[in-house]
Chains A and B, each alone.
Chain A
Amino acid sequence: MQRRDWLKGTTAAGLALLSSRWTLSANAAAGLSDRFPALADAVLARATSLGASFADLHLMQTDSESLFVREEMVQGVNAGSSLGCSVRVLVDGAWGFAASGEITEARLLALVDSAVAIAKGQGGWRARPIEIETLPAFTGTWELPIAIDPFSVPLEEKVERLLGINRAAMEKGASYCNSHVSVVRERKWLANTFGTRIEQSRVRIHPSFSVTIVDPKKGEFATRSSLRPPRAAGWEHLTGWDAAAESALAVEQAKEKMAAPSVTAGKYDLVIAPSNLWLTIHETVGHPTELDRALGYEANFAGTSFCTPDKLDSLQYGSGIVNLHADRTAVGGLSTVMWDDDGVKTLGKEFPIVKDGVFRNFQMALGQAALIGREGGSNGCAYADSFDAFPIQRMPNISLQPGPDKTIKSDSLIADVEDGIYIEGNGSWSIDQQRYNFQFTGQVFHRIRDGKLDGMFRDVAYQGNSVDFWKACDGLGGEPSYELGGAMNCGKGQPQQVAPVSHGAVPARFRQIKVLNTAAESGKDIAAAISRPEGGCDCSGANPSWA
């Protein structure tokens, strides 16, 4: 399905089509849709009468379910629902914001009063008033299309799916295996003084597992976590995954990893699979190109950025083959919505961040484009993670575009590597507050020798500088090798907000990247590890504690 067709075709879909086994959620949503217009009128009129030049009303309901299974034991069956409202006002060039879990007209009007009082409290000592652009008004509803509503799937079926993953791993010799699935439905209502009245709903799902192999004789263990990413999708995202097969493979790979030679630190050519590269994109491209960060709004927490406005259209961010595209419209994208939380329509707001290796645009929310003299206003990147969260600039889906040759895939990239490592799955990640120095690990590190995979390494981390790294990219997979990764919980802001976001990628090759030996970094003598006899792992199939 094409992106535009998908979004257009679902704009008018009724929220009532969503089924729910939990009447609490359905009733609350239906009631709010009925009450929303009158509440909006009352709130916005009150805010305007108190001097607000702009105001908006947000209602938000988040329903969730999660399951956790350890070995054969179902240890977590959880459901959750949060519901509430917030009012944001702009008075005399200052924001005011107030929120509550109680949605009544009286409470909302009191929130307006609180928000206006906070805004007016800044009067007379602001250095610079907050100014925002005028936005077009929108009305309508939108629902993310899914094949199988995960909230309608019987609990027994969900449990059996996870038990199947764990059974496959334990039969293959895992010492431990845990599996987990979480699903979230997010419904939002937004009205503002520009005339917007919108309602939208989306669903996301994250299935995962982790296997552990223990060698009790040596006091060592190894793990391998699943590679399946979260997705804006229904239960079909889980049924379309042969998770049991992957958990069995994961056990084999964990055993091989524990017996593998410890990597010798140095520079290697890396071929990085989308299952690892999505996170590198997130940290080295996604966060540095947030305009609020570049302007100092995150200086006290998430940090600032090496990517400052003076570098627009001039910074060589990567090699000439590197193209990174931002949107909130990708099919399956965790950041995909019809309107952002400022009320900006996302369709048509897609933009390049890096084009032919050059830095081209920032991610922006309401009121930010004018600060750097950009025409066109916000590009639709506002998000609030809960009913009591102030909307801030958050990341759209940002994806590495495929190379022009559709026949290129990971094997083709590996074939041109003499001495390197092919990395799958994301592990540890860290980057400095201006996004220069990063360090990542992974799940599986395949050794590459003379253009072919040749066993595994253990204790691998790669480290570098964001721009140097992307400049070292000299090979990209073609469109058929494109995969969408992502995270449910990207953190930013104070108080911290978590946002779901996807990153598409193709396998990519990077030349001469610094690789660390993590065992050596810990101060451990790795001589024994490097010289360990092949097949030296004593992996007991069953944990003595559980036998």
Chain B
Amino acid sequence: MRLQRRKPLLGMNRSELESLCGKILGLVSADDAELYLSDSEDLILRSANNDITSNGFLGRVAVHLSVSYGKRSASISLTRTDEASLRDAVKKVEAMAKLAPEDPEHLPPVEPATYAEALTWSDATAAMTPADALASLRPVIESARAAKVDSAGYLSRSVGTSAYANSRGVFVADRETSVGFSMTARTTAGRGSGWASTQVTDAALLDLSTVGERSIQKALDSRDATARAAGRTTVVLEAAAARDLLGLLASGLDQREFDEGQNFLNSLVGKGEDPVGKSLFGDQATVFSDPLYAPAPSGTHASGLPVTRTTWIEKGVLKALPVGRFWAQKKGLAPQPSPGNLILPGEGKSLEELIGGVEDGVLVTRFWYLRMVQPQTLLHTGLTRDGTFAIRDGKIAGPVNNFRFNETPVNVLKNLVASGAPERVLGSESQMPMHVPALVVKDFNLSSVSDAS
């Protein structure tokens, strides 16, 4: 069999992709095989000090092949699809699998299923050129120059085609586009700093100028910050900060870890109690994932398992936990993939309304350097940056110093008192699509002051 030589997969239709996957799987003589094939084309523009600093037009194909003989398995990844490379890779991974000891937890690939068509593609985004990107960024940088602030930004346009296929007859293909843009503006005098971001699937909805204006205004507003002491207080977390904490909570949810006694949920329920069905969070907390949620869509399968809408938390009650295929089989549960996106619907209040309900507190634009401190409680640390403001009597009282926080996302949802309208913005850690509102959280632990500005 002759394999097709490397050419961009982006223009391939579904049957061409299926044919290429079939040809690669046809090289495999192992009992079972799973194949992920992707081709991406990224366009990036990075700026600092009001100039472009680096950029790129990057193409990459990736092949990830797992094979198994009974319960012996191995995997291999490579960035080439020429016939010689693929044949060598198959030979190598089959040799590795034969040598690997049996894994009692290994399962064969999933059987065919029905998959919804993802909403993750936009022709407008795919058609975006480097010249388009430069043209859209130029006025934003020029507005920063005019405002006499130093701007640094990152515009990233990604276009990708991917396919999953296995030896049990599954084939599913996805196409995905996204554009993310973030900008930090800083003032020379007064140590002001402001940040804003956006993330869209469809470049036709891209609005860089609003991001630029918000970051510049926030930088100007945050000049000459005054001192405020650390301590537990009410915070208004803008959407970027809120999504970071929600992501940390989601990544901590795991059925197997709980069953094995090594999850934060173990300390929240009595011995022998099931956390699912328990009210562990505040009644304002509702979180779900849905690959077909148009404002922040995601892929419709996870390694061949269909992904559907899942409610994780409803009015404070834990409704579901992710569980892998082996553990699900062992425990008699249905496998539950981890979320591919997260939505917290919120109350729809404006940021001004949220601030208006706070007598004394702190408005947080974004967080930085979030890290787990204590897995037993899901305690995380991190810092505020790029726009931190005091709230007094329902109004912004002015910029204040930054803070380090030590807090658990469990407490954040327990102490949630009000929420805004969801937005799709970028976070500091995971860039999983999320549609999350600003949140008002009481008793948030601002542990110490940071001198950063």
Contacts and interface: CB of A to CB of B under 8 A. Distances in A.
Contact of B60 (A84, A437, A441, A494): A84
Nearest to B267: A219
A258 B445 CA distance: 25
Contacts of A101: 6, 59-61, 79-80
Interface stretch (A39-47, A123-131, A406-414): A123-131
Contact of B51 (A100, A126, A156, A392): A126
Nearest to B408: A522
B383 A99 contact: no
B107 to A, nearest CB: 12
Given A219-B267, A521-B379, A83 B79 contact: yes
A524 B445 CA distance: 12
B48 A114 contact: no
Nearest to A98: B57
A295 interface: yes
Given A79-B92, A219-B271, A430-B404, A461 B373 contact: yes
A110 to B, nearest CB: 10
B397 interface: no
Contact of A543 (B96, B131, B195, B260): B260
B120 interface: no
A433 B368 contact: yes
A149 B295 CA distance: 50
A217 B106 CA distance: 30
Contacts of B141: 125
B374 A459 contact: yes
A494 B130 contact: no
Contacts of A512: none
Nearest to B138: A125
B448 interface: yes
B392 interface: no
A76 B101 CA distance: 10
Contacts of B73: 77
A175 B261 CA distance: 10
A521 B406 contact: yes
A1 B453 CA distance: 45
Contacts of A49: none
Interface of chain B: mostly helix, strand, loop or mixed: strand
A138 interface: no
A239 interface: no
Given A296-B49, A430-B381, A437-B451, A78 B74 contact: yes
Contact of B56 (A99, A126, A155): A99
Contact of A118 (B78, B89, B134, B406): B134
B186 A430 contact: no
Chain B's interface size range is 35 or more
A518 B374 contact: yes
Contact of A299 (B48, B93, B449): B48
Interface stretch (B149-157, B304-312, B346-354): B149-157
A369 B75 CA distance: 45
A155 B269 CA distance: 43
A100 B59 contact: yes
Interface centre among A23, A94, A432 (most CB of B within 10 A): A432
A74 B271 contact: no
B53 A433 contact: no
A272 B432 CA distance: 37
B142 interface: yes
Interface in B150-187: 150, 152-154, 156, 182-184, 186
Contacts of B58: 98-100, 388
B100 A121 contact: no
Interface in B233-273: 259-262, 266-267, 269-271
Contacts of A437: 383, 404, 448-452
Contacts of A155: 96, 99-100
Interface string B339-378: 0000000000000000000000000000011111111111
Contacts of B206: none
Nearest to A466: B451
Contacts of A122: 51-52, 134
A101 B260 CA distance: 43
B42 A495 contact: yes
Interface in B266-298: 266-267, 269-271
A502 B180 CA distance: 33
Nearest to A523: B411
B145 interface: yes
Nearest to B73: A77
A304 B184 CA distance: 11
A300 interface: yes
Nearest to B260: A545
B186 A299 contact: yes
Given A118-B130, A432-B369, A432-B402, A159 B101 contact: yes
Nearest to A304: B186
A8 B130 CA distance: 44
B450 A432 contact: yes
A546 to B, nearest CB: 8
Nearest to A222: B376
Nearest to A102: B6
Contacts of A97: 54-57
B446 to A, nearest CB: 11
B316 to A, nearest CB: 17
A97 B84 CA distance: 29
8 contacts: A95-B55, A121-B134, A122-B52, A159-B100, A159-B101, A298-B152, A428-B372, A434-B451
Q: Which 3 A-B pairs have the closest CB atoms?
A: A434-B452, A521-B406, A299-B152
